[in-house]
Amino acid sequence: MVGSIAVLGGGNGGHAIAADLSLAGFKVNIFELPQFVGESFREVMRRGEIEILGKAREGVARLNKATTSISEALDGVELALIAVPAFGHATFAEICAEHLKKASGRPPALALMPGTAGSLEFMKTFREKGVKAPIAETATLPYGCRMLEPAKVIVYVTAKLLPAGVLPARQTEEIVGMLKQLYDEVCPCRNVLEAALNNPNPITHPAATLLNVGRIEYAKGEFYLYKEGITASVARIYEALNRERNALCQTLNLKIFECGEQLTEMDRIIQMGLLFGAGCWEEAGVKMKGPTHVRDRYVTEDVPYGLVFMASLADMLGVPAPVMKSIVTLFSAINREDYFAKGRTVEKLGIAGLSLQELEKYLQEGER
């Protein structure tokens, strides 16, 4: 049985995971990199507690540790959950690899929540540093949540389905078994790419933001994307993106998970329902304000780390992805950044140029 857990990342997601799992009876260490420590994490370190309310467990959660030392966080734990934005993956891969190289004993299993193919980036760094550890990733963060004030987080909605893949995939049963002790909703993926491609955010966030950019800026942030922004034309773009994603999945022999019939019409339209299940629109969407500007993570994370990743993989496999690329192109112009160059490409994931068979083998074995 999993007893102690490290949560790496001190943002919305890290707070919710650490608090909820502490209340569930696990011994939880929470870690943040010194340079990323914000007001809330400072408060968590001071008090050693996080208050949580909403749709997960509610209460004041006492943590085992809140620390900026990676060895304090990881030593002796069986499982490390990494809940940081995709643009933090490279940095966290680096410090995890450096620590594991020096550490004695069996390394913990790592799980990115979510990964968006970040497990491949971790594995590339681990191979370069000569470290061996299995790396899982889930398709989404288990919580739709926001920090309310320092050391206090609210959970608007929880995932009803939590697809999880493991690199190497031959260790899936073992690692997914551990994750299932934490979250009953966890279900095994064929490999980490299946988990990555089931992340709904790159489908949902950039398209809906793009088609509402004028309003977001004119209304100066008084904007609720899920309530105001998901219209018939946005749904058409979702359909087009999903067709491209499905073609990619078919080529890779992967599936898109679905929650099924219990979804309301609105949940189906906004797509968030795919993993978060029925009722999320009423429960979460209408309450969650934002995005308030075009450098929100709905753009700066989901475009370069979501759409660029899928488009790059599609290019490598000869699958057309014109709608994905169009959104990347337009946000690159809006934010004057080359998201294709900056984003998560097959090169950065260490899988560029692999044939379908070589890719399958690598995903299965974790070795080239």
Chain positions contacting a copy of itself, by CB under 8 A = 208, 210-215, 217-218, 228-234, 236-237, 239-240, 294, 322-323, 325-327, 329-330, 333-336
Q: Which is nearer to a copy of itself, 173 or 217 (CB)?
A: 217
Name the residue with tokens 């337009």. 330
> How far apart are the C-alpha atoms of 364 and 124, rounded to whole Å?
15
- 85: helix, coil or strand? coil
Whose Cβ is closer to a copy of itself: residue 53's or residue 213's? 213
Report angle CA 321, 142, 258 to the nearest 5 degrees: 50
Q: Residue 173, exposed/middle/buried by CB under 10 A (0-12, 13-18, 19+)?
A: exposed
Q: What is the DSSP string of 95-120?
A: HHHHHHHH--SPPPEEEESS-TTHHH
Nearest to a copy of itself of 238, 276 (CB atom): 238
Q: Which is nearer to a copy of itself, 238 or 257 (CB)?
A: 238
Least distance to a copy of itself from the beta carbon of 268, Å?
Answer: 18
CB of 282 to a copy of itself, least distance (A): 17
- List b or e across 205-235, with b for residues whose CB sees 16 or more CB atoms inside 10 angstroms: bbbbbbbbbeebeeeeeebebbeebbeeebb
Minimum distance of a copy of itself from residue 355's CB (angstroms): 29
Which residues are 38's β-sheet partners? Answer: none
- Residue placing its CB nearer to a copy of itself in the complex, 325 or 344: 325
Enter the tokens of residue 12: 């919305």
The gap between the terminal CA atoms of the chain, to the nearest Å, is: 32
Q: What 3-state DSSP class applies to 31?
A: strand
CB nearer to a copy of itself: pick between 236 and 368:
236
Least Å distance between CB 327 and a copy of itself? Answer: 7
Nearest approach, Cβ of 344 to a copy of itself (angstroms)? 20
- Give the residue with the Cβ less far from a copy of itself, 176 or 323: 323
The nearer residue to a copy of itself, 226 or 309, going by C-beta atoms, is 226
Q: How far is CA 301 from the centre of its chain?
A: 10
**Angstrom distance (rounded) from CA 164 to CA 139:** 6
Helices (H), the chain: 12-23, 39-47, 70-74, 89-102, 118-129, 172-182, 192-197, 201-210, 213-218, 232-252, 265-270, 273-276, 280, 297-300, 308-317, 322-335, 339-342, 356-365
